[in-house]
Amino acid sequence: MTIANDLIQPDRGQDAIAIHLVNTDSFESFAKSLSGPQRAALNAQKFTGGGYQVGIVPDGDKDSAGWFAVGGVADPDDLSSWCLAKLAEKLPEGTYRLADRPAGPAMFGWMTGQYRFTRYREDKDAEGPRVLLTQDVAKIELVTAEAQAASLVRDLVNTPADDMGPAALEAEAERIAKENEASITVTRGDALEKGFPMVHAVGRAAERKHAPRLIELEWGDESHPKIAIVGKGVCFDSGGLDIKNSRGMLLMKKDMGGAAHALALSELIMKAGLKVRLHCVVPAVENAIAGNSFRPGDVLSSRKGLTVEIGNTDAEGRLILGDALTLASEREPDLILDFATLTGAARVALGPDLPALMARRDQTAEQLISAGKAHDDAPWRLPLPGEYAEWLKSDIADTNNTHTNGFAGASVAGLFLDKFVGEDIDWAHFDTFAWRPTPKPGRSKGGAALGLRAAFHALRGRYG
C-alpha cells in the first residue's frame, strides 16, 4: 500500500503543532487576535482565508513548537472530507492537532492527501508523514480502513496492465482472503468455456500469462443476509477487433477499475465486520487481438442461457459482467452491487467526478445517494427506461450487446446488464470512471475511488 496507516493517532497530550481553520468571513476577526508580525507573515503569504489556502505563522511563545498553521476552508463549523487535505499535502513533516474543533470527516482527506504511487519511481521530494491527533478515538479505525480502501483502488488502477493483469487481480484477491479469513475460488482459462462462456470468449485471445479467470471471494456468517459485489476486471482493453485508436487505448489500464472497487469494498466490509454473507465476483480478462479473438457478428452463449450477438467487440465489459451477474444471482442475494468502467456515455453525461448510478429500486438508489452525499462521494442516478430495451434486439440472437442509434448509451448498457440479474433481485449498478484527469486536494491525478464510500456507508446503514 502507498499510504501509511498511522497518520491519524489518539490525542494523549503529545507535543503537536496547532492548526487553526478560518474562511474568508472569519479571517478578519482571527487576524485581529494575532500580533503585528504574525499578521505580516500571513500577508506575505497572501493568505486571506480562501479555500485550501495554507499559512505558516511564527509563535512568540518560546515554549511552543515555534509556529502554527492556518488553513482556509469553506466553513470551519461544517468540515467536509477534503478540508484538511491541502494542509496534509503542504505542511512539513510533523505532528498536528486542530486548535479548537474536532476533525470529523476531514480525517479522511488528511490521509488521502498523503497518498503517493511509488511503485516505479521514488518520490524524492515528498515530505515525511504528517500525523493528526484526535480525541475521537472511536473513529480512527474506520476512517483508516476507508482511506486504505480508497488507496487500494488507486494503487490497482495506477498499475500498468502488464503488471496488473488477471493473475495480479487474483493475487490481490488471495491477499484479501488470507488476511480476512475468507474463501477464494478461481476458474481459469479454458475451464471457463462451459460455465462462463462470455468471460472465456472475451479473454481467450490474451497470452497465457494474462489468461482470463473468474474470481470469487466468500466471507461471513451464512445465516446473515446475502449480498453480492461484482466488479468488471478488463485489465486492458484494446477494443478487440473493433480496435480503439491510440488515444482511446492510452488509459485502458484503468478498465479494471470496477474490479478494484469491488475488491476494495469487499475488504472494507470484512474489516468493518458487517453482518452479511458476502459473495464478491470478479471476471478478469484482457480484451486482446489475436487469431482467436471473438468477432463482430459472432453469437456468444452465456451462463444465463441467453444468446448474444456481438455488435461491437469494444462493448466487452458488459459481456463478462453478464456471466458474473448471473452467477451472483444464483445465490438469490438480498442485494447485488456492481462496479464497472462501462461507458463513455456516462462520462459525456456526468464528467469524470460523478459515478453514474442505475438501480431497480428507488429506495436502494436513495440510500446510495444519501450515503454518498454524507461522505462526499455522491453518485448521480440515471434511468433504466424499459422502452429502450428494444434497441438491443437482434435478428438472430436473444439480444445484441450494443445499439446503433447512439442515444442513452449508459442506460442501454445498464439495460443489457439487467437481463442477467435474477428476477426481483435488488440490484444497483455503478458506471464509474475510476480515474481523475486533474488533481484536487486529497485526490491526486490518476486512479480514483468513485462510488466506493457511497456504497460502503449505504451497506453499513442497511446491515450495521
- CA 33, CA 44: separation in Å to the nearest integer? 17
Cβ proximity of 398 and 306 under 8 Å:
yes
Please, where are the H alpha helices in 250-308?
A: 257-272
DSSP letter string, 172-221: HHHHHHHHHT-EEEEEEGGGHHHH-HHHHHHHTTS-GGG--EEEEEEES-
Cβ proximity of 11 and 97 under 8 Å:
yes
Is 360 catalytic? The answer is: no
Is 318 catalytic? The answer is: yes
Q: Can you name the residues that pair with 159 across neighbouring β-strands? A: none
Q: Can you name the residues that pair with 56 across neighbouring β-strands? A: 69
Q: How far is CA 285 from CA 156, 168, 199, 399, in A?
A: 15, 11, 7, 22
Max Cα-Cα span within the chain: 83
**How long a stretch of residues is the chain?**
464
Q: Which of 154, 254, 318, 347 is catalytic?
A: 318
DSSP state of 223: T
Tell me the angle at which helices 317-330 and 409-418 cross, rounded to the nearest 10 degrees: 40
Q: Which residues contact 169 (CB under 8 A, 6 or more apart)?
A: 156, 215, 233, 235, 256, 259, 263, 282, 284
- CA 281, CA 268: separation in Å to the nearest integer? 15
Cβ proximity of 322 and 420 under 8 Å:
yes
Judging by DSSP bridges, how do beta strands 130-134 and 183-188 pair with one another?
unpaired
DSSP state of 415: H
Which letter, b or e, does each residue of 417-448 get, where b requires 16 or more Cβ atoms within 10 Å of its Cβ? bbbbbbeebbbbbbbbbbbbeeebbbbbebbb
Q: Which of 90, 244, 381, 440 is catalytic?
A: 244
Q: For every residue of 85-131, which 3-state class applies, written as one string?
A: HHHHHHCCCEEEEECCCCCCCHHHHHHHCCCCCCCCCCCCCCCCCEE
DSSP letter string, 141-174: HHHHHHHHHHHHHHHHHHS-TTTSSHHHHHHHHH
Active site residues: 244, 318
